[in-house]
Amino acid sequence: MIKEKFTNLKITIVGLGVIGGSFAKSLKALNVDKVWAVDLDDKTLVKAEELGIIDKGYKDASEPIQKSDLIILCIYPKQIIEFIQMYKNKFKNNSIITDVTGIKNGYIKAINPILPESVDFVFGHPMAGREKKGIDFSSREVFQGANYLITPNKRNEEENIKLIEELVLAMGFKRVSRVDVDKHDEIISYTSQLPHAIAVSLINSDEWAPEIDLFIGDSYRELTRIARINEDLWCELFMGNKENLIPQIELFENKIRELKDYLINGDEEKLKELFRESTKRREKIT
């Protein structure tokens, strides 16, 4: 059983939101030795203890991280830098840190120089989430069948990367891939940030609220679900990856302009060609 690998692990989760809470629930189900959590919100910690999804909650990270083999940072990108700076002398020797943030390059460059020698930070990105915030919306199901990306760097030990890979597969992720950090941020600007930019812009161009509710079907609901967005987190992700995101938006703008031009010109054959191409592409996606 692969699960036996994890029964000695002591783990601290920092930030018990949707993702942190989902990690806690998943790790408890794997019977790891300890799941501790750090959060600024008392109620969240009490709730998590009562639910039995953590062994103990802390407002200060000093105590749990000194005993932890693995620390999972489920906080905003900028907070990660602050966290490392604040606690750099408290980590256990040979412990592993990992994160869940949606953009990587800038943060890896900022974090690696301030990281203690004895700690290995394996940067990770679970491609999963919910549009609603907070532990109440966390669940093991969030991760089932989802993609996980790891952006290794030359400081990382192979065995530590492997541990993260095995752990997240055991939690229910379907595929874990190792990708170059620049490529990660470039493709993610297309698959993650651009869809959010589109959803926000679509709903913000509504001129018929509130009666719009009578005129919508599944497609509009789906295309706007993520327009309900955590403004602080996504502002960081957008601004932190703008060098990639801006050209992606422009590529998309070109494509929708092309479609519009075919409409204006009444070019049915060209329009159908776009539809055939999009259908072919969508059928390939799992």
Cβ 237 vs Cβ 102: under 8 Å:
yes
Question: Shortest approach of its own copies to residue 42 CB, angstroms?
Answer: 26
- Site map for its own copies, 262-281, x if CB under 8 A? -xx-x-x--xx-xxxxxx-x
Q: 150 to each of 58, 120, 143, 242, how far by Cα in Å?
A: 28, 13, 15, 21
Query: Smaller CB distance to its own copies: residue 50 or 231?
Result: 231
284: left (phi over 0), alpha (psi -120 to 50) or beta: alpha
Q: Does 216 bind its own copies (CB under 8 A)?
A: yes
Question: Shortest approach of its own copies to residue 123 CB, angstroms?
Answer: 15
Q: Which two tokens stand for residue 43?
A: 């109620």
Q: Which two tokens stand for residue 48?
A: 């998590």
Per CB under 8 A, which of residues 104..163 are in contact with its own copies? Answer: 127-129, 146-147, 149
Question: Shortest approach of its own copies to residue 59 CB, angstroms?
Answer: 27
Q: 79 to each of 35, 73, 261, how far by Cα in Å?
A: 21, 9, 45
Which strands form 175-178's sheet, in the order they lie side by side? 124-126, 147-150, 175-178
Question: Shortest approach of its own copies to residue 61 CB, angstroms?
Answer: 27
Query: Smaller CB distance to its own copies: residue 59 or 228?
Result: 228
Residue count at the site for its own copies (CB under 8 A)? 91
Q: Exactly one of 63, 115, 137, 190 binds its own copies (CB under 8 A); which one? A: 190
Please give the single-letter amino acid code of residue 107: Y
Per CB under 8 A, which of residues 217..246 are in contact with its own copies? Answer: 217-232, 234-235, 238-239, 242, 245-246
Q: Does 254 bind its own copies (CB under 8 A)?
A: yes
